[in-house]
Amino acid sequence: MDDDSLRRGKPTNHKVFGEDIAVLTTDALIALAVEKMATSTSLGVSPERVLRAVVEMAKAVRTEGLVAGQAADLSGEGMSLEEDRARLEHLEFIHIHKTAALLEAATVTGAIMGGGSDGEIERLRKYARCVGLMFQVVDDVLDVTKSSDELGKTAGKDLIASKLTYPKVMGVEKSREYADELNREAREHLHAFDSAKVAPLLSLADYIVNRQN
């Protein structure tokens, strides 16, 4: 792989192998992840905690998680939502269930398996939800403010696909402010933790809000 393809990224699974194999790959990866988790008692995690983590992951995927978000996304394409509030609600529903649910599961399962208290787990859940939503707000802003070359992917494709985005609902400036607000909120949920221990989570949030591609 040369420098240019590294910078631009590689073509996605469904472009190279077709949609059918791409779908099968996701099913296999989810199953492999569940298996990996379910056998992690060998690392000294109690079966009760492992089961609780498995349930968290299943919830992130099922009809109140990723699947709900994707179904809403599909049903909303080309949908005309005249009122700003209705548009924003539809948009947040999609991203809370798609992007944020997965970030939440990744964070919370770690907290559960690592022995976190109920309070710690819930604070980390709120942090992850803010960061997940923030990721999507930033993504939407970059799509309308950067060139394809800067992004390393096609810019403006949300506009072409007549997709609902944050800049479309609230404008670019308000979207940027909203991302900053989500970053502040995410950081607040980590206040009660040892600052040295949560440093990587704080810089992850900063990285996401400041990324340029």
Q: Which residues here bind its own copies, judged by CB under 8 A?
A: 20-21, 23-28, 30-32, 34-35, 38-39, 41, 46-48, 50-51, 54-55, 57-59, 61-63, 65-67, 70-71, 74
Cβ distance to its own copies smaller for residue 57 or 133: 57
CB of 137 to its own copies, least distance (A): 24
Contact call for residues 104 and 129 (beta carbons, < 8 A): yes
Dihedral class, residue 44 (left if φ above 0, else alpha if ψ from -120 to 50, else beta)? left
Cβ distance to its own copies smaller for residue 77 or 206: 77
Q: Which residues are CB-neighbours of 8 under 8 A, at least 6 positions away?
A: 152, 153
CB of 185 to its own copies, least distance (A): 28
Could you give phi then psi for residue 63, rounded to 5 degrees?
A: -65, -10
- In sequence order, what DSSP letters do the residues of 145-192 get, joined into one string? HS-HHHHTS-TTHHHHTT---HHHHH-HHHHHHHHHHHHHHHHHTTTT
Helix (H, G, I), strand (E, B) or coil at 17: helix
CB of 100 to its own copies, least distance (A): 17
CB of 71 to its own copies, least distance (A): 6
- In whole angstroms, what is the distance from residue 90 CA to residue 23 CA? 25
Cβ distance to its own copies smaller for residue 105 or 155: 105
Paired tokens of 201:
């989570």
Cβ distance to its own copies smaller for residue 64 or 84: 64
Cβ distance to its own copies smaller for residue 17 or 149: 17
CB of 22 to its own copies, least distance (A): 10
